[in-house]
Structure 1
Amino acid sequence: MSANFGVIVFPGSNCDHDAYHALAHVMNAKAQFLWHKDTDLSNIDFLLVPGGFSYGDYLRSGAIARFSPIMQSVIEFANKGGPVLGICNGFQILLEAGLLPGAMLHNEQLRFICKQTYLRCETSDTLFTRTIEEGEVLQLPVAHGEGNYTTDSDQLKELQDNDQIVFRYCNKKGETTKEANINGSVDHIAGICNKERNVLGMMPHPERAVESLLGSNDGKRIFESAIQELTVA
């Protein structure tokens, strides 16, 4: 039985159609849009919180979207073990909602970054990375002004000890050099999951890397892993 993917649309989202295209037209998955005022997720098996500038990113990124009517349902869905993927602004929203620990700062250079980058898979122990080898390097684009992930030293140690760091920024060879850490994130963090491993937040955009025409199709690996895991389940 095929899984139902839901792509949330907030006022200001601009990656929702990219995500829908990746799922429905490239991965041939069943996908539908969910408006930010929707609250019924009973027919959804996988939630994607897309990138963009929800509510214009006023106050700070994701701060207003966190109070959208749908978010209480998202929190309940996640707490019951439902898989949730937050990409870029979606990651920021998940942080604001308390589904993931930490916070986002402005990029270290105080400039918006829009470029191809490399990230290293740090764990295969999530449904999003089950088919990706630990240490494998993916090429995905980034497009953000507030992607500098931060947390306190105790929380960072907990993330490290619990194997919750899913992706780190690296160079083409997989080395976590200072130059490779494009936005200054603590410990080169590009993506993390919750302790239960069903919620993933990441700044790079896999939905923009599903066709070779766009420069890379490495993003398909994340969606393939999720679809395979849900199909088996």
Structure 2
Amino acid sequence: MRPSPPDSTAELLHRAHALAGLTLTELADELHQSLPADLRRDKGTVGQLIELALGASAGSKAEPDFPHLAVELKTLPVDRTGKPLESTYVCVAPMTGATLQRWQDSWVCRKLQHVLWVPVLAARDIPLGDRMIGRAFLWQPNMQQQQLLQQDWEELMDLLALGGLDQIRGAHGKVLQLRPKGANSKALTLAIGPGGEPVQALPRGFYLKTSFTSQILQQATHNL
């Protein structure tokens, strides 16, 4: 039976703390779910499992995972030293109409205003089922982090709007980057070309850089 959504952030955090120390196999068994052999074709499995355990209700809608609490859930794979292993996907980037958006109204801004981070020990040599859930924590960007996120988002959106898609590299941005986000090279979408003409391009997604999520983790550890 799917858990009901939590009534408060305190209840959400209590539920998340109760998962700490469980392996993914133990959690999957509790929820009567099966785990794939690996994550090559099922990258979202861990996040979906934890969403199910915590009672997330947004699904794939353009809103936080716990809309009534305005809290987004992000799982964070870490190595044995607690270092994030990969960048963190935030959302799909709008490839057209970028000039009409403001930071405050963007999906990135809304999703990152209040985040429940759930670290998962996921060193490459640990089988999927043996990977262990860490201690979750709630995070809201401070003023400096908010400014960095907004600055990166505005610069990347300007490049999209001006047809500079081919100029965007992973190195762009201090904390936020734009990367291809598609199941394969045939999954194309409409974008703006160098001369302002419509072109077909791979979808892009916004990701938080590992250096930034590492800073968030250190901040949370310091506050314990």
Larger gyration radius, structure 1 or structure 2? 2
Alignment TM-score, normalising by the size of structure 1: 0.28
- Flag the structure with higher strand content: 1
Alignment TM-score, normalising by the size of structure 2: 0.29
